[in-house]
Structure 1
Amino acid sequence: MKLYFSPGACSLSPHIALHEAGLAFEPVLASTKSHKLQDGTDYYGINPLGYVPMLELDDGTRLREGPAILQYIADLVPLKNLAPAAGTMPRYRLQEWLNFIGTEMHKGFSPLFNPATPDEYKAVVKARLASRYTWLESELAGKEYLMGEHFNVADGYLFTITNWAKPLGIDLSPYPAVMAWHARVGARPAVQEALKAEAALK
């Protein structure tokens, strides 16, 4: 398998999942700025949408969109408990989390990356993100991870997005449960491995 990624982007999430799963894969650096691979290949020729992550299977099948990739990885190694079994209510709860993270958190941060976003709108965006972190604080109270005692792929996704908070001026100090959860996920060996690998390939 190949994982097309860009350091610091949302592709860190499946990178973490692959390390958690213990699966062999080749990380392929795909710049989100130049849209080229390290050998000069035009990434648009591989993924016409131009963004990461993208997972390429050994048979050449390509899978886009982080939440779909995360569930695919988790289902390859069911004994790792990275996702509940398909068709169960806990699996739908996982999908609920993945959709919330993707639409409310991931896309919530997006305007802050755009230098053309007016400061007035950035203030609105930050206020909305604060309201989402307030809700997350209540959801994480008394829990080790998003769905209880066990880490799953949604934790890796939210960890990736929450890494953007500090550099983009989002203060997480009002959310001690969120901060404790973020530190807990960040300390996992697979997460550390993925972070170090991305830093080395940057």
Structure 2
Amino acid sequence: MDLYYSPLACSLASRITVYEADAADRVSLHRVDTRAKRTADGADYLAINPKGQVPALRTDDGEVLTENAAILPYLADQFPGAGLAPASGLERYRLSQWLSFIGSELHKTVFTPLLSPTADEGAKAFARAAAPARLAYLDAHLTGREHLLDRFSVADAYLAAVLNWARFTAVDLGPYPAVAAYVDRLHKRPAVARAMQEEMGLFQAA
């Protein structure tokens, strides 16, 4: 499989998933310049993913998947022994619920405007105003819990990538103690620490 990523983008969740599954030998990582729409070897990334965004995953069958909500469960299903996604039942739908919440309510609503160099102050103000209710909801859920589901899942990998942006956007997690403690736990998890260290190095070297 081929995973297309950009350092510290939401594709970090896929790298975390690959490391959690101990599957680095099964997945080739390809860096993408999302502004130039080129891969590190100069290939036209739009020919791989016409949306020009990361992540994208080329499967062993040559199919291309995009969007975290599709790629992360797919990766989990390729390595079922890692237990990164419930196989079926209500818990599988709970996984979809959290992937959707992270993607729509945190990733796109809060952090995308704050990270965007082209978003105007109105968009950034909307994002800052939207953050407290969403983080409070997450904080309530995580109070007394280690993970979003009963064990670490690809939803936690995605949330780790998204909450990592708080330090770049001045989003204060201090008022949400369960969220802050959750982030601290994640950063001590070997696969998460490895993925973040690697991508931070790549990001700083760019």
Q: Taking structure 2 as the reference length, what is the TM-score of the superposition?
A: 0.92
**Residue 106 of structure 1 aligns to which amino acid in structure 2?**
H
Determine if the alignment matches structure 1 residue 65 to structure 2 residue 67: yes
Comparing 121-130 with 151-160, greater Cα deviation is found at 121-130
What is the match of residue 18 of structure 2? 18
Determine if the alignment matches structure 1 residue 114 to structure 2 residue 116: yes
State the shift of 1:201 in Å: 4.3
In 2, the alpha carbon distance for the partners of 1:126 and 1:57 equals 37
Q: Does the 8 Å contact 1:29/1:201 carry over to 2?
A: no
What is the match of residue 194 of structure 2? 193
Q: Does the 8 Å contact 1:35/1:44 carry over to 2?
A: yes
Pick the aligned partner of 1:133 from 132, 135, 150. 135
Alpha carbons of structure 1 residues 114 and 200: separation in structure 2 relative to 1, 3 Å: closer
**Residue 59 of structure 1 aligns to which amino acid in structure 2?**
D
What is the match of residue 57 of structure 2? 55
Q: Please list every run of at least 4 consecutive aligned residues from structure 1 whose deviation after the TM superposition is greater than 6 angstroms.
A: none
What is the match of residue 83 of structure 1? 85
What is the match of residue 166 of structure 1? 167
Comparing 172-181 with 54-63, greater Cα deviation is found at 54-63
- Identity among equivalent pairs (%): 45
**Residue 61 of structure 1 aligns to which amino acid in structure 2?**
E
**Residue 60 of structure 1 aligns to which amino acid in structure 2?**
G
Supply the RMSD in Å over aligned alpha carbons.
1.4
In 1, the alpha carbon distance for the partners of 2:141 and 2:174 equals 16
Figure out how many residues of one structure are paired with residues of the other and give that number: 200
Determine if the alignment matches structure 1 residue 94 to structure 2 residue 95: yes
Determine if the alignment matches structure 1 residue 44 to structure 2 residue 26: no
Give CA deviations for 1:25-70 in whole Å, capped at 9, x if unaligned. Answer: 1110011121111122111111111010011122311111111111
In 2, the alpha carbon distance for the partners of 1:107 and 1:40 equals 29
State the shift of 1:200 in Å: 4.7
In structure 2, stretches of 5+ residues that fail to align are none
State the shift of 1:190 in Å: 0.9
Q: Does the 8 Å contact 1:54/1:64 carry over to 2?
A: yes
What is the match of residue 104 of structure 2? 103
In 2, the alpha carbon distance for the partners of 1:172 and 1:196 equals 21
Q: SS in structure 1 opposite 2:33?
A: coil
